[in-house]
Amino acid sequence: MRVGLTGGVASGKSTVSAMLAERGAVVIDADLLAREVVAPGTDGLRAVVAAFGEQVLGPDGSLDRPALGALVFADESKRRTLESIIHPRVRARAAEIEASAPAGALVVHDIPLLTETGQAASFDAVVVVDVPVETQLERMVTLRGMSEEDARSRVAAQATREERLSVATHVIENTGSLEELRARVDEVHEALAG
């Protein structure tokens, strides 16, 4: 069973992903793969530097994510350029991991931009972790120390809540307690693995 897992920034998708892994799912985390494909020495990092210049490199030669983020989240064409470098590499690496999963495994692809990249139809089911936009903004400002303007630009760079919900097979609302979240993850896991 191939499952796409998505949710807006600060929705709690990573927490849900970890809970599914605890329940035996093979989780393929696109964010981790996105870091892997631009690690020092990779062709992905060389392509990012060719597109955006040396100012996106830190002193150690690794990608300076805040510097790159400041460039791409303020300019849609630059964001699309970055996505054209990262997404194909992430998909190729995810396919390798999925191919090595045990037969019959529940394989969960944790993909923040699943809706934006039009991948929903390629999965047997899509799970959306959902919170109101106000909750996303509050979490980014309070928990991640972002300015409200930066938080709003990150939300605006993603699909709308309605767009994500329109591709959902299962919705996990994450505005309650951790116990409520665990209970809902159990229900969805049972439905997927059952």
11 marked ligand binding residue: yes
117 marked ligand binding residue: no
100 marked ligand binding residue: no
Number of Cβ within 10 Å of residue 83's Cβ equals 16
What is the domain partition of the chain in residue ranges? 1-25+106-194, 39-105
98 within 8 A of 142, measured Cβ to Cβ: no
d(CA 7, CA 116): 11
| Range scoring the smallest mean pLDDT among 16-20, 73-77, 168-172 | 73-77
12 marked ligand binding residue: yes
180 within 8 A of 131, measured Cβ to Cβ: no
Instruction: Classify residue 121 by its DSSP letter.
Output: G
pLDDT digits (tens, 9 = 90+) for 49-81: 999 999 999 999 999 999 999 899 889 999 999
pLDDT digits (tens, 9 = 90+) for 84-142: 999 999 989 999 999 999 999 999 999 988 999 899 999 999 999 999 999 999 999 99
> Which long-range contacts does 89-93 make (Cβ < 8 Å, 24+ apart)?
89/33, 89/37, 89/44, 90/30, 90/33, 90/34, 90/37, 93/33, 93/36, 93/37
pTM of the full predicted structure?
A: 0.83
Q: 1-25+106-194, which class in CATH?
A: alpha beta
